[in-house]
Structure 1
Amino acid sequence: MEKDIVVIGGGPGGYVAAIRAAQLGAKVTLIEMDKLGGTCLNRGCIPTKTLYRNAEILNTLKNIDEFGIGVSSYDVDVDKIQNRKRKVITQLTDGIAQLLKANGVEVINGKGRLIDSKTVGVSLVDGSELEIKTKNIIIATGSKPSMPPIEGADLPGIFTSEEILDFERIPEKLLIIGGGVIGMEFAGIFNAMGTKVTVIEYMPSILAQVDSDLTKRLSVSLKKRGIDIYTSTKVNKIEKDSEIYRIYCEGKKGELSFEGDCVLIAAGRTPVVDEINLKGIGVSFDRRGIKVDENYMTNIEGIYAIGDVNGISMLAHAASHQGIAAVEKIMGLKKENKNEYVPGCIFIFPEMSTVGITEDEAKEKGIPYKTSKFLFGANGKALALGEAEGMVKVIASAEDDIILGVHIMGPHASDLIHEGVLAVGSRMKCREISGIIHAHPTLSEAFAEAVMGINGEAIHMVPSKK
C-alpha cells in the first residue's frame, strides 16, 4: 500500500510531523534508527534540563540560610542523578510511542534512505531490507555534535555534549571549548555541582546571538559564581598526561594553557546529511544543511526537510513547528498569519531567553528604535523568590511603537518569553501591552513595566533624566 507521507527521523520534528499528518487523515510511516524523541529527548534538551534542575536545587542549598533554614550537610549521589534522568527520558519516550500508536502512525525501527523521489529504502535492525512507496517524503534526520579541527580533539576521554550527559563522577576541573548555548548550560550545571569550570570561546563574546546588554551582565554574574571565561581565544592543541588534560591556546594577550581532569567540546552541531543518498537523487545541500523553500520543500517536488537537518534553526520547537507547517502544506491546508519568530531559551543561572531583534542588530540594520529595561530587583515576586538578578529588555520601533524584540535574563525567563513571542509575532504596539492587566505579585509584571518604560510610563522605575 502506498503511503501519503514517509518521515525519516523520529525526533521532535519527525514525530510531530507524523502525528499532525495522521490527524489530517494521511497514511503515515515513521522511520527511526535509534530511539523515538531523537537528540532532544534522549541526548539533548530533556536530559540537560533534568540535570539543570539538580543544579538549581544545589544553588538553592548554597544560599538556604537566607531563607532562615539550616541544612547542616548534604551530598551528591551521581548514580541517583543518572537514574532520575533515565526515568524522565523513558517516561517521555514511552509517551511518544503511545501517541504515535494512538494516531495510527506506522513506526519502523531501521535506517531510512532515499531511493528516488517516491521510494524510501529501510535497513531494518534484523539486517533485512524494505522499500516503501510514498507520495511525499519528510527528512528529519537531525544533527550531531561538531568536532573542530583541533589537534588532540580525538583523545580518549574527551566528551561531546551527548557523552557528558552520562558522567559517572563530578570532575574537579572541567575545561569547556565553546561558549555557545550548549557550553554555557553545562558550565552552569557543573559549577553548581562544585566543579571548577573554565570556558574557552573563539568569538569576542559568549552567546554571540544574544543581546550584548544581557551577555555583559551574565559574564559578570558567572565570574562571581567562579566560572572563568576566556573570549577571543583560539584553541590550538589538546594533550593528555596521565589523567590530566592540557589545552594550549592563543588569546588576546598571547599564549595560554589550561589544565583539567575533564574536557567538553561544545562547538555546535552539524546537520546529519550522510548515508541517506541525497547526492544520489539530486537533493541540494551544503555543510549548513539541506536547502529548502518557505514551505520546507527541497529542490525536488514532494521531498521536504525539517528541523536541524535544514540548518535554519537548531531548536527542537522550531523543528516541531516546521514539521507541522510542512505537513499542512502537503495536505493542502492553508495557514494564515504565518509566524516564524522562534524564541531561544538558555538554561543557565540566571536563565536567559530572547525573541526578535537585538539592539546590536537594530544598530547594524539602521532601524530607528527605542529600548527600555526593567530590573528584577524592583519586582516583588523576584525578591520573594530570592532571585532578583537580571532584567527584561524591550526593543520597539521609534516610528510606530511596534515591539521588535524582547530579551530576558532572570528567574523563569524561559516561561516569561512567550508573552514576548506573542507581542513580536503579532506586531503588537507598546500601548496594547500596557493596557493589559498583569497580576500582582508576578514576574510577568517586569515585562509590562519594561514595555511601559518605552514611552516613559513605567510606574516602578525611576524616570530617566532628559
Structure 2
Amino acid sequence: MKYDVAVLGGGPGGYEAAIRCSQYGLKTVLIEARELGGTCLNRGCIPTKALLHGAEFYDEAKGAQEFGVLFNNLAFDYEKLAAYKDKIVSRLRKGIEGLEKAHGVTVIKGFGVLKNANEIAVNGETVVADHIILATGSAPFLPPIPGVDNKSVMTSDEVLEMKQCPESLVIIGGGIIGIEFATLYASLGKKVTVIEMQPDILKGIDKEIVKELSQILKRKGVQIIAGAKVTGIEEAGEITVNYEKDGQLNHATGSHCIVSVGRKAQIDQIGLDAVGIKLSGSFIEVDTYLRTNIPNIYAIGDITGKIQLAHVATKQGMVAAENIIGKQQRMNYEVVPSCLYTNPEIAWIGLSEEEAIKAGKNIKIGRYGVGGNGKSSVMGHSKGLIKLVCDHATGEVYGAQIMAPRATDMIGEIAIIMECEGTIEELSDTIHPHPTVCEIILEAAHDVEGLCCNAPPKK
C-alpha cells in the first residue's frame, strides 16, 4: 500500500493532520491501535469535562433556592453521569470516523511500527509513504512509589472507567489533572485530599489566582497538603498514603487513590531505533518545522515534549502538513492558551506578572474582580479576577490570567490580540457586549491606565 503521507496515531493532532494532508491533495493513511480521538477524546479532555459539567449542575443545584428553584431530596446518580460521559465520547468518536471517511483518508486499526524511513509495519502488512507524521501521544506516568500498584490506586485512565462514585479520594499531584478531579468529586460531596510535592498546587499559574482557588476548594472540603513527599501507599480495606512534610511523617486515607504526576511519551516499540530517530531525553527531538532528524519524518503532540495540550498537538499537525507540501511554516509556542476546568474556570496565556518581571520586562498590570461584573453576579459568582500584563511603553499585551465563569471561552480573545501583537489600547477601544462576563477584559484593560469606571479609584 503506497501513500503520500502516513500518520501514526489518531489523537487530536494525528487525526486532524491526516485530514489536512488529504485536503492538500495528498493520498493519506491514518494508523491507530485504539480509538480515534486519542487520549483527549477517550480518556482525557472530553470525558472529564462531561463529568465536571454534571458535577457543576449538582453543586449549583444545592444553592438553587436563591434563584427560586426548589428541589426535594436532591441527589445524583453517578452511573447515569458516567453513561452520559460515554454517550458523548461515542458520538464524537463516530464523528471523527465519519470525517476521515468523508475526506478520503484511509484508516487502519492496528499498532504501527517503523521499519525504515518510508515503511510502517501494521497488521502483518507494510504501509509505504513518502512522508510520515508520528503522533502516538502520551500515557499517565506512574512514579516509583512503593505500593503504587495496589488495586485501588488509579491513573486518570482508570478513574474515567469507573461506574460507581468513589467515597473518598487521596490525589497525588496538585497539577491540572489532579485539581480537576478534586473539583469533580468535592462538588459531589466526597472527601478529597490532595498531596503535592511543590510548595503550592498548580505550578505556573498566577499566585493570586491559585490562592483564591485554594480557598474555594477548602470551602468545598478539599484538604490540600503542599510541600509533601509521598513515601508509600498501603491498602488494607482502605488506601493509606504515607508522606513526609517538614521532616514529619504523616498519612492520608481514602477509598481510592489517584496518581496524577504527569504523562510520558508513548514511543516505546514503535521502531524509532530501527530508523535512527533522535531523542531529546524521553521525547522525540524536532525542529521548529516539526521535522525529526530524518527529513521526511515529522513528530507532533505529546511525544515532542513541548506543551502537552490537545490544541498544541492540533496546531503542530497543521504545521507539519503545511511543511510537507513545501510551505515552510514554523511552530510558535509563545501564544498558547491553557485551561483549568474548576468552578469558576481558570485560563491563562503568555507571561504572568511574575514571569514578566523575572524576564526583565517593564510592565503595567490591569486587574478587575469578578464580583463587580453584572453577568457573573446574575449567575451567582462573586469570586475570581482577571489580570492583564502589557508593555509599559507600547501597551503590547504580554499575557493574561483569568479566573471567572467561562474563562476558558474568553481566553481566545486574548490569544487573538497577542497573535496580532495587539495592545491594551485596542482592547480598551473594543466595544464588549453587556451584560457579559467578557466585560471583565474591557474593565481590566481600562484599569491599566487607572480609568476603570466600575471599580474604586486606585490608591
Confirm or deny a common fold (TM above 0.5): yes
Find the counterpart in structure 2 of residue 62 from structure 1.
Answer: 62
Give the letter aligned to residue 120 of structure 1: I
2:448 aligned to which of 442, 445, 454: 454
Change over 3 Å in CA distance of 1:298–1:211 after alignment to 2? same
Q: Aligned-pair distance for 1:335?
A: 5.2
1:365 aligned to which of 359, 368, 376: 359
Q: Aligned-pair distance for 1:157?
A: 2.1
Residues 64 and 70 of structure 2 are in contact (CA less than 8 Å); yes or no, is this contact kept in structure 1?
Answer: yes
Find the counterpart in structure 2 of residue 239 from structure 1.
Answer: 234
Q: Distance in 1 between matches of 2:363 and 2:242?
A: 43
TM-score (norm 2): 0.98
Q: Tell me, yes or no, if structure 1 residue 16 matches structure 2 residue 10.
A: no
Give the letter aligned to residue 410 of structure 1: A
Counterparts in 2 of 1:146-185, with a 5 A limit?
146-185=141-180
Q: Aligned-pair distance for 1:287?
A: 4.0
Could you say what secondary structure the match of 1:162 adopts?
Answer: helix
Find the counterpart in structure 1 of residue 285 from structure 2.
Answer: 291
Counterparts in 2 of 1:6-405, with a 5 A limit?
6-122=6-122, 124=123, 129-241=124-236, 243-252=237-246, 254-333=248-327, 340-405=334-399
Give the letter aligned to residue 240 of structure 1: E
Q: Distance in 1 between matches of 2:99 and 2:25?
A: 15
Q: Distance in 1 between matches of 2:330 and 2:193?
A: 47
Could you say what secondary structure the match of 1:229 adopts?
Answer: strand
Identity %: 39
Residues 439 and 445 of structure 1 are in contact (CA less than 8 Å); yes or no, is this contact kept in structure 2?
Answer: yes
Q: Distance in 2 between matches of 1:134 and 1:14?
A: 15
Q: Distance in 2 between matches of 1:337 and 1:327?
A: 12
Q: Distance in 2 between matches of 1:423 and 1:253?
A: 47
Of stretches 91-100 and 287-296 in structure 1, the one that deviates more from structure 2 is 287-296
Q: Aligned-pair distance for 1:450?
A: 0.5
Could you say what secondary structure the match of 2:110 adopts?
Answer: strand
Number of residues of Structure 1 aligned to a counterpart in Structure 2: 459
Q: Aligned-pair distance for 1:341?
A: 1.3
Q: Distance in 1 between matches of 2:65 and 2:371?
A: 20
Q: Distance in 2 between matches of 1:360 and 1:199?
A: 25
Residues 288 and 310 of structure 1 are in contact (CA less than 8 Å); yes or no, is this contact kept in structure 2?
Answer: no
Residues 9 and 141 of structure 1 are in contact (CA less than 8 Å); yes or no, is this contact kept in structure 2?
Answer: yes
Find the counterpart in structure 1 of residue 403 from structure 2.
Answer: 409
Q: Aligned-pair distance for 1:362?
A: 1.3
Could you say what secondary structure the match of 2:20 adopts?
Answer: helix
Change over 3 Å in CA distance of 1:163–1:339 after alignment to 2? closer
Q: Distance in 2 between matches of 1:250 and 1:209?
A: 24
Q: Distance in 2 between matches of 1:354 and 1:291?
A: 27
Q: Distance in 1 between matches of 2:302 and 2:192?
A: 29
Change over 3 Å in CA distance of 1:256–1:339 after alignment to 2? closer
Residues 334 and 350 of structure 2 are in contact (CA less than 8 Å); yes or no, is this contact kept in structure 1?
Answer: no
Could you say what secondary structure the match of 1:249 adopts?
Answer: strand
1:285-328 deviations in Å (ceiling 9; x for gaps): 14441110001111111111100111111111111110011000
Q: Aligned-pair distance for 1:83?
A: 1.3
* Structure 2: stretches of 5+ with no match in the other structure: none
Residues 316 and 331 of structure 2 are in contact (CA less than 8 Å); yes or no, is this contact kept in structure 1?
Answer: no
Could you say what secondary structure the match of 1:419 adopts?
Answer: helix
Could you say what secondary structure the match of 1:166 adopts?
Answer: coil
Q: Distance in 1 between matches of 2:153 and 2:280?
A: 28
Give the letter aligned to residue 257 of structure 2: V
1:369-405 deviations in Å (ceiling 9; x for gaps): 1112101100000001111210111011113211101
Q: Aligned-pair distance for 1:280?
A: 2.0
TM-score (norm 1): 0.96
Could you say what secondary structure the match of 1:13 adopts?
Answer: helix
Q: Aligned-pair distance for 1:112?
A: 0.7
1:32-88 deviations in Å (ceiling 9; x for gaps): 001100000000000000001111101111111111221121222222112111110
Residues 117 and 300 of structure 1 are in contact (CA less than 8 Å); yes or no, is this contact kept in structure 2?
Answer: yes
Could you say what secondary structure the match of 2:401 adopts?
Answer: strand
Residues 172 and 194 of structure 1 are in contact (CA less than 8 Å); yes or no, is this contact kept in structure 2?
Answer: no
* Structure 1: stretches of 5+ with no match in the other structure: none
Of stretches 89-98 and 281-290 in structure 1, the one that deviates more from structure 2 is 281-290
Q: Distance in 1 between matches of 2:330 and 2:11?
A: 26
Could you say what secondary structure the match of 2:84 adopts?
Answer: helix
Q: Aligned-pair distance for 1:31?
A: 0.1
Q: Aligned-pair distance for 1:2?
A: 2.6
Q: Distance in 2 between matches of 1:228 and 1:398?
A: 40
Give the letter aligned to residue 128 of structure 2: K
- Cα RMSD (Å): 1.4
Q: Aligned-pair distance for 1:30?
A: 0.3
Q: Distance in 1 between matches of 2:209 and 2:246?
A: 23
Q: Distance in 1 between matches of 2:42 and 2:324?
A: 29
Give the letter aligned to residue 89 of structure 2: I
